[in-house]
Structure 1
Amino acid sequence: MPKIEVCLTPALLDLYAIENSIVVVIDVLRATSSITYGIDNGAEAIIPVMEVEDCLAYADQGYLLAAERNGEVVTGYDFGNSPFSYTKDKVYGKTIVLTTTNGTKAMHLAQERAHQVIIGSFLNLAAICDYLKSQNRNVLLLCAGWKDNFNLEDTLFAGAVVHHLQGDFKLADDSCVAAVDMYRLAKDDLRQYLRKSSHSHRLIKLNIEEDVQFCLKLDLCKTIPVLEGERLVALR
């Protein structure tokens, strides 16, 4: 039976042997939700980059440039990481270059060693779980956290995945147990549970409650973004 593990922050990733694992990168508020929604809405690809300045290398290629820091759109860029910037009318057939505070960093760290890197959110929870069940391979759920610290929302999603997969995978660490216990506490009202989270407080100050509510919707998307080279594309 394959094992499933939860890495609570990218700062701990070096502790995990992931060379033969599928790594699910989780940054539900809002990067991985927006990426999933964008790819589901027909974006040709999303290129995650580490730094705001890295986006500029793509400026003359006709791509959309998206940059977020501390929850806000970086001045001069097309948009940030609100899911409402990734609707079909804005992204269909387009390539987007994206940098975010936490999520894109986690993707790059995972890609250095992982067998495969895919993108998870509540929007594609069922698709993620079905795919992982079909692969018979070890899984690491990598929470992007907040600036290398633990956060509630990404751990909550990791717990949702563990909850759905625990009959098919061996729970390999205590963070799995903690995450699934947290999810069971929260699953009847995810938004209410997350009102106590630090990131929720940050986002409230930015007046983007609509984004938060959207990112907690279940199974709006069937697409799984997968990192192939430098590009996130739809898993086929």
Structure 2
Amino acid sequence: MQKSIEVCLTPALLNLYDIEHSIVVVIDILRATSSIVYGIDNGAEAIIPVSQVEECLDYAGKGYLLAAERNGEVVEGYDFGNSPFSYVTDKVKGKTIVLTTTNGTKALHMASSRANQVVIGSFLNLKALCNWLKSQDKNVLLLCSGWKDNFNLEDTLFAGAVVSELRKDFDHFDDSCVAAEDLYLLAKDDLRAYLHKSSHSHRLAQLNIEEDVKFCLQLNLCQTIPVLEGKKLVALKA
């Protein structure tokens, strides 16, 4: 089978892609998908993504951890937001987390309504993800969550990293793949320096969470690939 890989640069363009038979990789590097990967790698039983802050409240008092982020900040009254440092083993092992974020969980829900399979990508699990994608006989769409339906640099850079890894194993690439890979090759020697140009990096700097940004740009810290099963993200079984 000839396999294709495409990059959707923002969820606003997702309706242009046929994904019914594809694996969709949801990407929200700063910080939702990085935290999801890290949390499940650290033993979280599952993460339930929900679209609205109010939906988290449906799970209150039932033994779940509630995580809500809007515009980069923890929503008042919730256990935590989407900083990877909240998803350490001591906090999440054996727990189920209900999570809503500004961009990532929205993209997840959009993908889940049509995709054959939905998995989570980040620099933290880049190698494990790419090795798995190589072994699958399915087309791949890399879905960048962007920022409120706009293009962003950090998600596109990660998509480019995946394209660069998979180039020998796939047959067809779209122009978004070419652009994403070119950006990644330009930035790869110092991702953080390149991302100082990005609008979201500036937003996060105002919140004094530079350590989060640095953490999310680490390569191959995790082996876990979160996969959506029903309403829950769980560790993909080999």
TM-score strictly above 0.5: yes
User: Aligned partners of 1:212 and 1:3: how far apart in 2?
Assistant: 31
Distance 1:170 1:125 in 2: 20
Which residues of structure 1 form unaligned runs of 5+? none
| 1:4 counterpart residue number | 5
Alpha-carbon separation, structure 2, partners of 1:160 and 1:116: 21
CA deviation string 1:55-85 (max 9, x = no partner): 0000021100000000000000000000000
Q: Residue by residue, what CA displacement relative to the aligned partner does 1:107-132 show, whole Å, maximum 9, x if unpaired?
A: 00000000000000000000110000
Cα deviation, residue 173, structure 1: 1.2
**SS at 1:177 equivalent:** helix
In structure 1, what residue type is equivalent to 2:83?
S
2:84 alignment partner in structure 1? 83
Kindly state the Cα deviation for residue 6 of structure 1 after the two structures are TM-superposed: 0.1
Amino acid corresponding to residue 222 of structure 2 in structure 1: C
Q: Distance in 1 between matches of 2:226 and 2:169?
A: 23
The AA in structure 2 aligned to 1:220 is L
Match of 1:183 in 2: 184
Superimposed CA distance per residue, residues 87-117 of structure 1 (whole angstroms, 9 cap, x where no aligned partner): 0000000000000000000000000000000
CA deviations 1:8-62 (Å, max 9, x no partner) are 0000000000000000000000000000000000000000000000000000211
Contact 2:3 2:172 in 1 (8 A): no
- The aligned amino acid for 2:185 is R
* Cα distance in structure 2, aligned partners of 1:5 and 1:33: 21
Greater shift after overlay, 77-86 or 170-179? Answer: 170-179
Identity within the alignment, %: 78
Give the counterpart letter for 2:142 in structure 1. Answer: L
Q: Which amino acid aligns with 1:116?
A: Q
User: What residue in structure 2 maps to residue 47 of structure 1?
Assistant: 48
Cα separation, 2, equivalents of 1:95 and 1:162: 32
Q: Give secondary structure in 1 for the equivalent of 2:189.
A: coil
Gaps in structure 2 of 5+ consecutive residues? none
Once the two structures are superposed, residues 173-203 of structure 1 have per-residue CA deviations (whole angstroms, 9 ceiling, x without a partner) of 1100000000000000000000000000000
Partner residue in 2 for 1:157: 158
CA RMSD of aligned residues (A): 0.5
With structure 1 as the length reference, what TM-score do the two structures score? 0.99
The answer for the alignment partner of 2:223 in structure 1 is 222
Instruction: Tell me how many residue pairs correspond in the alignment.
Output: 236
CA contact (8 A) 1:33 1:83 kept: yes
C-alpha distance in structure 2 between counterparts of 1:28 and 1:161, whole Å: 13
How do 1:117-196 residues align onto structure 2 when only pairs under 5 Å count?
A: 117-196=118-197
